[in-house]
Structure 1
Amino acid sequence: MNRGKITNRLPLFVSSFFLSLVLPFTFCLALFMPHGDAYGMEETSHALAADAVASSQEMRQSMPLLISNRKIIVLKGPIVGLSATERVANSTKRIEDVLRATKKVPQIAIEDIEDGRATRITLDGKPAFVVTPIDIDPQAGETTQIVARETAKRLHDAMAEWQEQRTMRYIGMAILRSVAATLIFAAILWLLARANRYGMHKLAMAGQTQLQKTAGGRLDWLDRGFIHVSIMRLLRLLGWMLVVILGIAWLIFVLEQFPYTRPWGEGFEDSLVQLLADSARQGVAAVPGLVLVAIIAVIARMIMRIVSEFFRRVGAGKIEVTWLSTDTVRPTQRIVNFIVVAFALVMAYPYLPGAGTEAFKGLSVLIGLMISLGGASIIGQALSGLILMYIKAFKTGDYVRIGEAEGVITDVGMFTTRMRTGTEQEIILPNKSVMESTTVNYSRPSSGSGCIIDTTVTIGYTTPWRQVEAMLLEAVKRTPYFADQPQPFVRQTALSDFYVEYKLVACLKPHADMTRSGALTALHGHIQDVFNTYGVQIMSPHYESDPPEPQVIKEGDWRPHPAKPSAQDS
């Protein structure tokens, strides 16, 4: 059997389980426990005896008196040498003796004894039990007469059910009604299973078509299969909710057919009704708060739209603000939106349903603790991103070196900075590490608007430094990507033991159609060509001494096979 068949037959399995378990159980209770014996199991009596209540003077024992599984009264002890358990056992025996002696409900009578300080309840003139002052709560306004009258009503109903348990005709009718209800329940489940198998697909297709027709093109980004599966699962969920509701109704009906299980069914029904009533009252009470929350959300949304329009105009240059630049428009807008949302949440929090409950408060504390412990790194990254945006260390399009990484900035985000290197690799740097690293911005020269490029060579002391500087500047002139202004220059950055270190600094043209790495490659090629032309060898960075003959390449040997002339040779 495949998974689909098993899913479709689950309702039938559920009905079979209920039919095979609950009906025999209730039938056995009806036949084998007709006496309404409240103490068929010693564990039950001990569990019920644990519900001790306190009198006005001291803690006393308490024990409920049960007839037909219904609580009649809670008797307390000790009194005149009898514990609460003994009082209940004696009272139960007297009541059952009266019930066994007659086939009708005994006549209940109430009489005051001991000068009105206690009240006795009799059945057909025979004493059943006595309501004493220790069995009542005077602080709640109870008297023995009031408690006795309420007890008599409950005792009458319990004895009527006790008599019903001894009537096979009634038990048979109860079983027939239970079987009929079970068959109806099983038939409904079978119909639901058939509808699930044959009709749900068509219903889902109709719902999908209607949804797409109503939404127009707003759902084009969703896959049709996803919409179909979602509607199918929603219908299946509704089907299972219906099965659960019908199952609860069936179970309550079956339990209420038998006198012994009737209190369970009534208690179950009362609990569900009370739960639904409480939920309805809470829902109605939450409506004003939800309306206020909706108003706060609408106002916050309007403010955010106004703010977004303002910053959009600032970014487009339609509005000039001295304290805002194009680079800081987006982060400033995010900060303002965050403040508006946070303020709206604080204002709406007290009006949310359940905001005053301990569970809601505990959840709020838990979320705050999780954010404070797990979000410290995220908050640090966000703050670092904001600082980078506002100090304007670099912007999108700048060529920078951050630590060991070097390339063009493609995006400055709230948490990370993206960079693309000369080898077309994308590097993602956490903003916190960017703040902790040294940043060199080559796109901000002291004058001009091009990108700064520098390179270093080391030449021996036997080569005149003026010649080296002239050759380096000539290599820059041969490279067409560099600007004349600002003028390139050479600096002697070190006088080492065996060589002099020369640093060449030049500026790319503002709109040069070449990346920094490509321009640097062309410059290095021309430096080698110029030094070879003038017979000066380059042995950096490990120069120690001059060889017998200069290690240079003659111009005729610059392009041996398979090398071909290129644009940088001109």
Structure 2
Amino acid sequence: MASVGWWRWLLRGVLLCLLSSAALAADESDGETEAPAAELKVANRTILVLRATLLGESPEIRAARARAVINEVLDSSSELKVSLQPVHGSIIVRLGDRRAFIVSPGDVDPVQYESVEAAANAAAQVLHQVVSENEESRNLRFMLLAVVYSVVATVVFLLLIRLIYFLRGKVLGALPGVMQRHTRALKLGSTQVVDVHQLFPVVSRVLHAVRWLIVLLLTYEWLSFVLSRFPYTRPWGESLNSYLVDLARYLFDGIVSAVPGLGVAVAIFFIARGLSAFVQRLLKRMAVHGDNDAWLNQETLAPTRRLSALAVWLFALAMAYPYLPGAGTEAFKGLSVLLGLMVSLGASSVIGQAASGLILTYTRTLRPGEYVRIGEHEGTVTEMGMFTTRIRTGLGEVLSIPNSMITGSVTKNYSRSVKGQGYVIDTTVTIGYDTPWRQVEAMLIEAARRTEGILAEPKPQVFQTALSDYYPEYRLVAQAVPSQPRPRAALLSALHAHIQDVFNEYGVQIMSPHYIADPQDAKWVPKENWYAEPARREPPGN
């Protein structure tokens, strides 16, 4: 009997050598035809992924044969031992006294395992766990305890869900009173910053989202715990746990890895803040000690400070951008492309308006309080912005004129050439050549003297601007007082009224706007007809 057993082991060794030689030959021929990999999975556990073709059997056939052998052995025996047997570069994984499967060099994934031995050991450990779980599934006491644990976990889970709903109701009931007390203290002047009626729906939605998040996490953990109690579903529970742990580890690693870059970005922003404050103080000192004709004065201080702060913060943002978390992701790249496209398509006119506003500011073409004429519009400048300039006309209208229109048109400034405060007021009349020019000048100056709001110093002046075919043109130029409540249109109307009165007093005909021929009688109004009905005896312009 002993000799028979010896010959049996000898024959078995010869067969194993032949099998390993065939396996090596098959491995050499795998480069010619590669079959798809097959997963060897038993009782929901992946033991090994087979990739090589052995003895003409594809990985799929090998996996099916190994699965059949393992299930057969598990059904026939209760106490089994997993062992390894090296054979010419390959390793046979044995379950009890039977060969379960062979791990060849072609089955090894170099990313996961360093050698055939490492892959075989890992597969043997998983197979041993399958054997242990198979024994547990046949143990009635173990299965009853698993059911008890699952029931207890389910009861605790339901109680926690009930507690969450109870706490949410309590919080929502007490929230309006708490919010009312605390929001009363948040005031900007006499205005309450936060309205409870608007804030409460937002907070309730946040609490609703937090409640569902906690419920989902509890459900996830309850399902993972229950599945892990039973041998057959334990791999599913372990995968749920591992997924949650991997997710938490991924988030934690991302936060930890982002801390150094975030620290650098925060340091850059702090430096930018200090530099911006220093530049603001420096510009303020320069504006105080500078004269009105310098590029930096009290008028240009505010836009210069804004531009310098914007430049510093844009430079800081460009420096800190690579260190921000997620700056290198595809999402940030797509957002950068979208912002660039929006700026290139829609911001050309805005940039042009802003550039025109800077030109007006630093060339000091206009100043608030000056009386100007821009194209067909005239009035007092009330506000100069980055994109528009507002003027108040003599009729009480407020016009918003784009800065690009101002830089592209002729601007007449009536306040810039005067001495001190005020603005220039002028008008033109045409008188025939038969009237002495000295008399015309005297009458125009007299009309200006009678007009309330026109300054006596500097004295009004009269210029002969043209000697036309039928009449000379006279232009009266005077300076008005800006503090008068009367706008320029009303003041000009009063001046025109006084010009008519003076010319009527001296019987001089005004030839405006066009001269055709000399009439038989001069066209003027006698003084006794100045207040014909329904006119009233009031000074002109009042």
Superposed CA deviations along residues 353-376 of structure 1, whole A, max 9, x for unmatched, are 334545445544544454344433
Query: Is 2:460 the counterpart of 1:488?
Result: yes
8 Å Cα contact 1:205/1:228 also seen in 2:
no
**Amino acid corresponding to residue 81 of structure 2 in structure 1:** Q
| TM-score, normalised by the number of residues in structure 2 | 0.80
In the other structure, the counterpart of 1:71 is: 46
- Amino acid corresponding to residue 39 of structure 2 in structure 1: P
Deviation of 1:309 after TM superposition, in Å, equals 3.5
| Maintained 8 Å contact 1:204/1:232 | no
Match of 2:299, SS state, is: coil
In the alignment, what sits opposite 1:303?
A: 275
Mapped partners of 2:388, 2:143: distance in 1: 76
Residue in 2 that maps onto 1:223? 194
Is the alpha carbon distance of 1:269 and 1:325 closer, same or farther for their aligned partners in structure 2, counting shifts above 3 Å? same
Q: Which amino acid aligns with 2:82?
A: I
Report what 1:191 is aligned to: 163
1:129 to 101, 116, 125: 101
Partner of residue 33, structure 1: none
Could you list the per-position Cα deviations for residues 473-501 of structure 1 after superposition, in whole angstroms to 9, with x for gaps in the alignment? 33222212212343333444456676655
Flag the 1:456–1:195 CA change in 2: closer, same or farther, 3 A. Answer: farther
Partner of 1:389: 361
CA 1:186–1:445: 2 relative to 1, 3 Å? same
Displacement after TM superposition at 1:172 (Å): 7.1
The letter for the 1-side match of 2:40 is L
Q: Deviations over 1:121-154 (max 9, x none)?
A: 2333233222122112469764433322210111
- 8 A Cα contact 2:471 2:515, kept in partner: yes
* 1:110 equivalenced with 2:84 (yes/no): yes
SS at match of 1:256: helix
Tell me which amino acid in the other structure corresponds to 2:486: M
**1:471–1:530 Cα contact (<8 Å) kept:** yes
SS in 2 for 1:61: coil
Aligned residues: 512
Secondary structure of the residue aligned to 1:444 is coil
Gaps of 5+ in 1: 1-54
Question: What letter corresponds to residue 300 of structure 2 in structure 1?
Answer: T
> Aligned letter for 2:266?
A
Percentage of matched positions with identical amino acids: 42
Which of 91, 114, 118 in structure 2 is aligned with 1:119?
Answer: 91
Alignment of 1:333 onto 2:305: yes
Q: Alignment partner for residue 95 of structure 1, among 70, 74, 78?
A: 70
Query: Cα gap change, 1:339/1:303 in structure 2, threshold over 3 Å: closer, same or farther?
Result: same
Name the amino acid aligned to 1:84. P
Establish whether residue 426 from structure 1 lines up as the match of residue 401 from structure 2: no
**Contact map agreement 1:410 1:419 (CA 8 A) in 2:** yes
Q: Structure 1 residues 525, 262: CA separation in 2 closer, same or farther (over 3 Å shift)?
A: farther
The counterpart of 1:265, out of the listed 223, 234, 237, is 237
Deviation, 1:347, is 3.7
Is contact 1:161–1:259 with CA below 8 Å preserved after alignment?
A: yes
Q: 1:452 aligns with which of 388, 413, 424?
A: 424
- Between the aligned partners of 1:219 and 1:122, the Cα distance in structure 2 is 85
Question: Match of 2:6?
Answer: none
- Listed one character per residue, the Cα deviations across residues 408-446 of structure 1 (whole Å, up to 9, x for unaligned) are 111222222222222222222222222112111111126
Distance 1:241-1:248 versus aligned 2 partners, 3 A rule: same
Deviations 1:326-351 (A, max 9, x none): 21212221222223223332443343
Which residue in the other structure is 1:83 paired with? 58
Using a 3 Å threshold, how does the CA distance of structure 1 residues 227 and 305 change in structure 2: closer, same or farther? farther
Task: Let me know the Cα RMSD of the aligned residues.
Answer: 3.8
Contact 1:208 1:227 in 2 (8 A): no
Q: Which residue pairs with 2:495 in the alignment?
A: 523
Q: 75, 95, 116: which one pairs with 1:144?
A: 116
Whole-Å separation in 2 of the counterparts to 1:565 and 1:268: 100
Shift of 1:391: 0.8
SS of residue paired to 2:540: helix
Distance 1:416 1:179, change over 3 A: farther
Aligned residues of 2:493 and 2:541 also touching (Cα < 8 A): no
Of structures 1 and 2, the one scoring higher in RCO (CA 8 A, sep 6+) is: 1
Larger Rg: 2
Task: Tell me, yes or no, if the aligned pair for 1:448 and 1:485 is still in contact at 8 Å.
Answer: no
* C-alpha separation in 2, matches of 1:418 and 1:485: 30
Deviation at 1:382, TM superposition (A): 2.2
1:518-564 CA-partner distances (Å, limit 9, x unpaired): 21121122223334444455574355446665555443444455544
Give the conservation status (yes or no) of the 8 Å contact 1:314–1:320.
no
Name 1:62's counterpart in structure 2.
37
1:115-514 equivalence runs, <5 A: 116-137=88-109, 142-161=114-133, 177-178=149-150, 180-203=152-175, 205-206=177-178, 209=181, 221-225=192-196, 226=198, 231-313=203-285, 317=288, 324-357=296-329, 359-445=331-417, 449-458=421-430, 468-493=440-465, 501-509=473-481, 511-514=483-486
Separation in structure 2 between the aligned mates of residue 563 and residue 251 of structure 1, nearest angstrom = 99
Structure 2, unpaired ranges of 5+: 1-29
Equivalent position amino acid for 1:111 in 2: Q
